[in-house]
Structure 1
């Protein structure tokens, strides 16, 4: 099985007529994802390589039966696009847009919790989700993923998401689902959401978790793992040498007041029984060792 999406997931691309939307939307379709519609206000009745375009998500979902949306729009439109998808009854929304103002992200999180609890947001500022051989929503290259499991991946870092996939695939270890949750301060889906889903998935036998400095999400995940996860977990935390007080790439990757350090996160993960690696390649090696013993 996979988590959140599968081969039957029907996807709308909000922004399909733009350069990035077209590139990634068609790439997802060519991977085998069921991309059934695009949404661009004012362009209803046109198409992108046979994919029909609608003026609104509500209309697109009603006609196609889509349950997922891939949002590829500029930052100033992203919050409205997420809320539009939720209001249309879309259950799973992937937003890759970067540089969305923090106040907009906080507003979206609040509105989704209050008005649309049935909608799960992945992102913003994330690579998306791939269930190898089944569904790919986002910007991850399907070429580096290997179908068949038994490893689930969840990562805050986009680049390290790709490396984790590549490292495992090169070693012949397949993945059930790889989820890039993004590194912004207000993510829609967090480590715990993914860990709980992997724990419930019978095909996922082990989990590779990639964190980074800043915030307390890894510490919260460690407590959840200790209390609720029975499957082996390997973790790598990026940012060991990052200077305190300086933002490192992601809006959420900042160490402040002695909190959010890589070493602190690594320590609490070890205390929870997680196998902690000191670099991405070692994380892959440790996971291979675990899979060989399953």
Structure 2
């Protein structure tokens, strides 16, 4: 199986006809994603050819869903218009919205996350690489060729780059799903949401959690793991050498005083029974070692 995204998912791309939308639509199609429509009000009625697949463009998300039965949207709309694009998708009742766009104002993200939560749409992102269920579907910008093999590991990560690196380092084992939740201060789907889904997924035997400095998401995830997760979890925290008070890469990766440091997050995870690697390569070694242990791998 997989979480959130499967081979049955039908994907619509908002902003498909822009440069980033076109590039990544082609890549998603090449990795097997069933992209059934694009959305651009100014280009409604056109059909875009992507190698061996012709994708129709609709003037609205509702029109695209009514014509195709899409149940996932991937949003490549520029920041000033992203809030309206997400709200438009949520108004259709679509179950999953993957917001790739970077640079969305925090206030806009707060508004559309609250709106989506009230109406039952799961949002992944913003400022995220999306998610992939290898061999099934890929919604976002994760390069499918780094881990084309389905497997036993579930991955949830704040960092897109570290998502790619861990997927590459564990490519011989493979993944049930990998979810890049994004590194903004406000994101729709959290580490905890993914932990809960992987716990219920019969094909996920071990979970990898990647965090980074800033905020308390990893500490909250550690508490959840201690109380609710029975499967083994291996972690990695980026930012041990980050200077205090500096935003490092992601808008949410800022440390104030002793709050949100990599050391504090590592300690919280280890207290919950999570093995935490010092580097991505060490993290991948910990995963292999845990999966190689005899007996019930699901015993946390």
**Which category describes the TM-score, using the shorter chain as reference length?**
over 0.9
Residue 288 of structure 1 aligns with which residue? 288
Q: 1:148 to 1:162 in 2, by over 3 A?
A: same
Measure the CA separation in 2 of the matches of 1:48 and 1:92: 24
1:58 aligns with 2:30: no
For structure 1, the residue ranges without an aligned partner over 5 or more in a row are none
Residue 128 of structure 2 aligns with which residue? 126
Task: Give aligned pairs, total.
Answer: 290
Secondary structure at the aligned position of 1:149 is classed as strand
Measure the CA separation in 2 of the matches of 1:85 and 1:2: 23
Measure the CA separation in 2 of the matches of 1:250 and 1:5: 25
Measure the CA separation in 2 of the matches of 1:65 and 1:148: 26
1:75 aligns with 2:79: yes
- Once the two structures are superposed, what CA deviation does each residue of 1:135-183 show, in whole Å capped at 9, x if it has no partner? 00100111011423110000001100000100001xx211000000000
Q: Displacement, 1:257?
A: 2.9
- Once the two structures are superposed, what CA deviation does each residue of 1:81-106 show, in whole Å capped at 9, x if it has no partner? 11111101211010110010111111
For structure 2, the residue ranges without an aligned partner over 5 or more in a row are none
Measure the CA separation in 1 of the matches of 2:30 and 2:93: 26
Residue 103 of structure 2 aligns with which residue? 99
1:84 aligns with 2:88: yes
Measure the CA separation in 1 of the matches of 2:248 and 2:33: 33
Q: Displacement, 1:255?
A: 0.3
- Where do residues 1-294 of structure 1 align in structure 2 (5 Å cutoff)? 1-49=1-49, 50-114=54-118, 116=119, 118-169=120-171, 172-293=172-293, 294=297
RMSD of the alignment, in Å? 0.8
Q: Displacement, 1:26?
A: 1.6
Measure the CA separation in 2 of the matches of 1:65 and 1:119: 16
TM-score relative to the length of structure 2: 0.95
Measure the CA separation in 1 of the matches of 2:42 and 2:276: 51
CA contact (8 A) 1:151 1:205 kept: yes
